[in-house]
Structure 1
Amino acid sequence: MPNDFNQRIIDEFRANNGRVGGPFEGGRLLLTTTGARTGAPHTTPVGYLPDGGDQVLVIASAGGAPKHPDWFHNLVANPLVTVEDGVFTYQARATVLEGADRDRAFARAAEADPGWAAYQARTTRTIPVVALRPVSGGPPNAASPGAGLKLLHDAFRRELSLIRREIAESGPGIGAQLRVNCLTVCQGLRNHHTGEDTTMFPFLTEHHPELAPVLERLRAEHERIATLVAELHKVVSSTAADPALVRAEVDRLADELERHLAHEEEQLIPVLDA
């Protein structure tokens, strides 16, 4: 069972679609492992780092304690875990990174947040980095299709807001983790809009022909957003990316995306939930 402190965070996370405040603000994931000795499920709030695509990284820092956290021992014994990210709950397979792969990932994390380096400096153990790759998925954790759409949209809003803050706090260059964060959002938007264009919009066209003008506008907006995503991808991928230029591209994308998301929610959520 989680301790009282962790349980309060878990309850707040689940009640607020992945958002928590206080000392664990920024904790972005609930990880449920199977007890190595007991076989019982154990849920722990952890931070994570995007790693491109669907894969995310978690770091078994335990605040720099001399021993690895219990959740790490559990996933080594049973690598199949459950992940909650505030939008989706899914099973993932955990892989402990080794050698150069671990060192590169940890260096990227420490560049983005020096706290990770401080934890490593407190202990003689090598702090593990674990990759979590989904093996199963499902719809958003929402009571209705419309609520699921809003939940997914809010996740994109949140990620872009975090990226804006990270750029504002960055130095003269763009760090490796910030670059990965931007590229991950770009890929997520492409996947989301492709799914809408190929699945949701054809369904709505068939069952609600009166929405044709709305869907035509939304498809056109997808094309404009795809152009902005490509521009951001190009700027961020440069080895000498200028933070001011990246910020300008992120702002352009975020502003255009917000107009699109607000219009889509206004027009489609009532229909999806009818």
Structure 2
Amino acid sequence: MLYGKEHVDKYRATDGKEGHDWNGTTVLLLTTTGRKSGEERTSPLIYQKHGDEYVIVASKGGAPQSPDWYHNLDTNPEVEVQVMGDKFRARARTASPEEKPEVWRLMAATWPQYDEYQTKTDREIPVVILSRLDG
């Protein structure tokens, strides 16, 4: 099973032919800029399309803290996304309280473990919406 750096490398090398379809769901690559290091970091993340936008979840398996990639968005919400062979810039934002129930249901239907992860932590797991930037 692909995971971590190996997953990213295979995904990039094959334009997602290996790594996009994963454990019965779909994965994109999210590249953020490290808030401390300034270095680019890429994470393979489960996603779903919602209209023209892409939705991902900052679950970290229900850990007490959000994943590093989510914290990086505070400093620089402009990210790079790869879905299969499509690479584009996007702006990331946390779903508003009004939006979250709908997009959470979408993501939990895709990966039911998200509901379990939420029960493991006191933090409210954020849902992130990625909006493609023109140009």
Q: TM-score range with shorter-chain normalisation?
A: 0.7 to 0.9
Give distance in 2, aligned partners of 1:51 and 1:33: 21
Compute the TM-score of the two structures, normalised by the length of structure 2: 0.87
Mapping for residues 253-264 of structure 1, pairs under 5 Å: none
Q: Residue type matched to 1:125 in 2?
A: R
Q: Percent identity?
A: 37
Candidates 118, 121, 124, aligned match of 1:120? 118
- What displacement does 1:122 show? 1.1
Runs of at least 5 residues in structure 2 that lack an aligned partner in the other structure: none
Q: Residue type matched to 1:70 in 2?
A: D
- What displacement does 1:40 show? 1.0
Compute the TM-score of the two structures, normalised by the length of structure 1: 0.45
How many positions carry a matched residue from both structures?
130
Do the aligned residues in 2 keep the contact of 1:81 with 1:94 (CA within 8 Å)?
A: yes
- C-alpha RMSD over aligned residues: 1.6
Candidates 58, 66, 69, aligned match of 2:67? 69
Counterparts in 2 of 1:42 and 1:112: CA distance versus 1, 3 Å: closer
Mapping for residues 61-140 of structure 1, pairs under 5 Å: 61-136=59-134
Give distance in 2, aligned partners of 1:62 and 1:37: 20
Give distance in 2, aligned partners of 1:38 and 1:124: 28
Match in the other structure for 1:259: none
Give distance in 2, aligned partners of 1:64 and 1:75: 19
Where does structure 1 differ by over 6 angstroms across 4 or more consecutive aligned residues?
Answer: none
Do the aligned residues in 1 keep the contact of 2:47 with 2:107 (CA within 8 Å)?
A: no
Higher relative contact order, structure no. (Cα contacts within 8 Å, ≥ 6 residues apart): 2
Do the aligned residues in 2 keep the contact of 1:36 with 1:73 (CA within 8 Å)?
A: yes
1:37 aligns to what SS in structure 2? coil
Match in the other structure for 2:36: 37
Instruction: Specify which structure has the higher proportion of helix.
Output: 1
- What displacement does 1:27 show? 4.4
Give distance in 2, aligned partners of 1:136 and 1:82: 12
Give distance in 2, aligned partners of 1:68 and 1:88: 27
1:118 aligns to what SS in structure 2? helix
Do the aligned residues in 2 keep the contact of 1:19 with 1:28 (CA within 8 Å)?
A: no
- What displacement does 1:66 show? 1.0
1:99 aligns to what SS in structure 2? coil
